[in-house]
Amino acid sequence: MKKTGAVILILFLFLFALPLLILLLSSFSQGSMLNLLQGKGGLTLEQYQAALESEEILLRFKNSAVISAATLTVQLPVSLLGGFYLVKQRKRRAAAIRFFLTVLLLLPFQSIMVPVFRLSKWTGLYDSQMAVILPQAFSALGPLAVWLLVSSLPEEQWEAAQLDTASHLTIYARVILPQLAQGLCAVGLLCFAEVWNLVEQPLILLSDETLLPASLSLNDLELKNTGPYAGAALYSAPVLLLYAASFLVIRPHLQK
């Protein structure tokens, strides 16, 4: 019975890994993986070569990188400060703000699409990457995730540390956050994955095609005689690398 369970679990895990394997194999084939399976040509770097030589693809990748880097530069400190505020603010006020942030996090972008568009027009940010960056930098995900992490630690830690310093922020930075380094890495990764995967916001706020990120427009780009798989694989690579790094490099280092 236990063996059957293990087989079923492995089968499901294989199914979860299958799309990634297909993407990888397709990216090294001529056209798609089906050609590879039918014996039409062997493994080749043709698609990667075409993708890396395509100025359009590189531009979209650059746009994604710029939007992500700028967003995270603001979002991560804001998330840390927001988490601190939610933990230390008076309970009722913090609960009300948390409720509001949770509601915002759960609702689709369409709920605020029109006002965000109008605001971006009024402020002159429409059709600039800043229009996408700014709302994303204040996404509710970061502060709520940091609050969840910090509130999992016992209050006694704050009280004990207060014997050494009167500053809440010093305790937060030197005592609380270092204990949560792994969780904070996960929050950072989630924030990055979210901003790397933006579709609706650029669709509404950017009309200039040269400003669009690859997350929205990678499939629109035609590559001569090659498939779109290398571009898709390359676009997944930063998230996969960061995810792998969080397992292989960051975690053992932090545990020391």
Partner 1 sequence: MKNTKRQTWEIRAAGAACLPGFALCYLAPFCMTAWYAFIRSAFDHRFAGTDNFAYVLQNKYFILGSGNLLWLGGSMLLLAFALILLLAPLLLRHPGIAKPGAALLILPLLIPSISAATVWKMMFDVNSVFNPASCRVALTTLFVWKYAGIGAVLLWAELQKIPSEILDAAALDGAGKGRTYCFIQLPLAGKSLAVAGMVLLMFLLRVYKESYLLFGAYPSPDLYLLQHYMNHQYLKMNFQYVAAAAVLLTACALLLYAVGFLLMKKRKDAL
- Least Å distance between CB 58 and partner 1? 16
Binding-site member from 8, 43, 45, 160 for partner 1 (CB under 8 A): 8
Q: Is 59 in the site for partner 1 (CB under 8 A)?
A: no
- Least Å distance between CB 220 and partner 1? 10
- Least Å distance between CB 55 and partner 1? 19
Binding-site member from 9, 37, 69, 249 for partner 1 (CB under 8 A): 9
**Residue 38 phi/psi, 5° resolution?**
-85, 5
Which of 158, 181 has the CB closer to partner 1? 158
Residue 32, C-beta contacts closer than 8 angstroms, at least 6 positions apart: 26, 227, 229
Stretch that binds partner 1, among 39-47, 49-57, 65-73, 74-82 (CB under 8 A): 74-82
> DSSP of 104-138, one letter per residue?
HHHS-GGGGHHHHHHHHHHTT-TTSHHHHHHHHHT
Residues in 153-212 that interact with partner 1 by CB under 8 A: 159, 162, 166-169, 189-190, 193, 196-197, 199-200, 203-204
Binding-site member from 39, 42, 108, 252 for partner 1 (CB under 8 A): 108
Please give the DSSP secondary-structure letter assigned to residue 224: T
Q: Is 119 in the site for partner 1 (CB under 8 A)?
A: yes
How far is Cα 49 from Cα 168, in angstroms, rounded to an integer? Answer: 53
Binding-site member from 118, 160, 164, 207 for partner 1 (CB under 8 A): 118
Q: Is 229 in the site for partner 1 (CB under 8 A)?
A: yes
- Least Å distance between CB 42 and partner 1? 19
Q: Would you give the end-to-end CA distance of the chain in angstroms? A: 40
How far is Cα 39 from Cα 147, in angstroms, rounded to an integer? Answer: 54
Scan for tokens 């040269």, then name that residue.
Answer: 210
User: What per-residue string of b and e applies to 92-117 under the rule 16 or more CB within 10 Å gives b?
Assistant: eebeebbeebeeeeeeeeeeeeeebe
Cβ distance 62 to 56 under 8 Å?
Answer: no
Q: Is 221 in the site for partner 1 (CB under 8 A)?
A: no
Which of 22, 256 has the CB closer to partner 1? 22
- Each residue 15-34 as x (binds partner 1 by CB under 8 A) or -, in order, gives xxx-xx-xx--x-----xxx
Q: 3-class SS at 93? A: helix
- On the 0-12 / 13-18 / 19+ scale of CB atoms within 10 A, 248 is exposed
Q: Is 228 in the site for partner 1 (CB under 8 A)?
A: yes
Residue 235, C-beta contacts closer than 8 angstroms, at least 6 positions apart: 61, 64, 214, 215, 218
Q: Is 147 in the site for partner 1 (CB under 8 A)?
A: no
| Tokens read off for 110 | 């369409």
Which of 119, 180 has the CB closer to partner 1? 119
- By CB under 8 A, how many residues form the interface with partner 1? 84
Stretch that binds partner 1, among 37-45, 50-58, 111-119, 174-182 (CB under 8 A): 111-119
